[in-house]
Amino acid sequence: MTENPQCAKCTRVVCDSKASLKGPENCPTKTKQEIIQQALAEYDDPEVREFARQASIQEAECYMHLPEGLTTRYPRVEEIAQFAKKLGYKKLGIASCLGLKDEAEILAEILENRGFEVVSVCCKAGAIPKERIGITEEQKIKGPGAFEAMCNPITQAKILNEAGTEFNILVGLCVGHDSLFFKYVKAPTTVLVVKDRVFGHNPVMGLYLAHSPFYRKLLRKE
Ligand code: SF4
């Protein structure tokens, strides 16, 4: 058994070059050839291949070459609409957090304006009290005695499955609720908004600021 890959800590990144076998000892490009070949075979499925091909085309189209250098051009919402069109999808699903209802509404409008049929389901659909999954009064956000509907990502997934959406877009589901949605949904799904209650749904700020005096606490050892 070889040492597990540690790409996040790699000091010799060569996998995006022709010298791809010159990485560190635990480089998966060197040590995981069997898995790499198995995974590669999956792309021989025409549907998977086309999905991957269009994703790479979309990726490249998100840049343009200007005299001053390679420049980005599409925000993610535009990228999603263009990608869905490339795949020929007609019916899209939105699985959103109730706390991002306004954002979900704008997204629906953008997609409908591009000619898509949109089905949207919010996380509280079903209005099932949190007690149903064992949440106690003390564990509620608003405190004891309040009615709180549970986030219901499995219901969101099943409703979108029943509607036959061909591609789904996540808007701000909580950590863990998003995981359940991915587990139960059938159509491929992408993420537009990642919930971050502190950083305006821009969670990478937690990484950018982890070495700053104000957020050093994120790097504490436990
Ligand atoms: S694949 Fe190899 S070269 Fe690339 S980041 Fe991982 S360890 Fe480094």
| 1 has a pLDDT exceeding 70 | no
Over range 16-20, report the average pLDDT.
82
What pLDDT score was predicted for residue 21?
81
Secondary structure class of 135 (helix, strand, coil) = coil
Q: What is the pTM of this model?
A: 0.95
- Identify whether residues 26 and 96 lie together within a single domain: no
For the chain, give the mean pLDDT: 96
DSSP 9-52: G-SS--TTSTTTT-S-TT-HHHH-HHHHHHHHHHTTSHHHHHHH
pLDDT tens digits, 132-175: 999 999 999 999 999 999 999 999 999 999 999 999 999 999 99
∠205-208-210 over CA atoms, to 5°?
100
| Ligand 1 neighbour 15 (Cβ under 6 A) | yes
SS3 string of 67-120?
A: CCEEEECCCHHHHHHHHHHHCCCCEEEEEECHHHHHHHHHHHHHHHHCCCEEEE
Does the Cβ of 29 fall within 6 Å of ligand 1?
yes
Name the helix (H) or strand (E) containing 205.
helix 204-208
Q: What is the pLDDT of residues 175-187, one digit of tens each?
A: 999 999 999 999 9
- Note whether 27 and 2 are within 8 A (CB): no
On whether residue 11 sits in a domain, the answer given is: no
Q: How high is the pLDDT of residue 20?
A: 75
pLDDT at 130 over 80: yes
Query: Is 81 found in the same domain as 35?
Result: no
Does residue 10 have its Cβ closer than 6 Å to ligand 1?
yes
Q: Is the dihedral of CA 126, 131, 134, 137 positive or negative?
A: positive
For residue 22 the two structure tokens come to 């010159």
Domain CATH code at residue 188? 3.40.50.1860
Does residue 129 register a pLDDT over 80? yes
**Residue 153: which domain range?**
76-222
Kindly report the CA angle at 200 between 196 and 202, in degrees rounded to 5? 65
Burial class (CB in 10 A: 0-12, 13-18, 19+), 83: buried
| pLDDT number for residue 22 | 86
If you measure from the C-alpha of residue 60 to the centroid of ligand 1, how many angstroms do you get, rounded to a whole number? 22
Q: Indicate which atom in ligand 1 lies nearest the CA of residue 16.
A: 4
Does 15 reside within a domain? no
Exposure class string for 146-160: b at 16+ Cβ within 10 A, else e: eebbbbbbebbbbbb
Task: For residues 38 and 140, state if they share a domain.
Answer: no
CA 10 to ligand 1: nearest atom: 8
- Distance of CA 24 from the midpoint of ligand 1 (Å): 7
- Please tell me the predicted confidence (pLDDT) of residue 135: 97
The predicted-structure confidence for 50-92, as pLDDT tens digits, reads as follows 999 999 999 999 999 999 999 999 999 999 999 999 999 999 9
Instruction: Quote the number of domains for the chain.
Output: 2
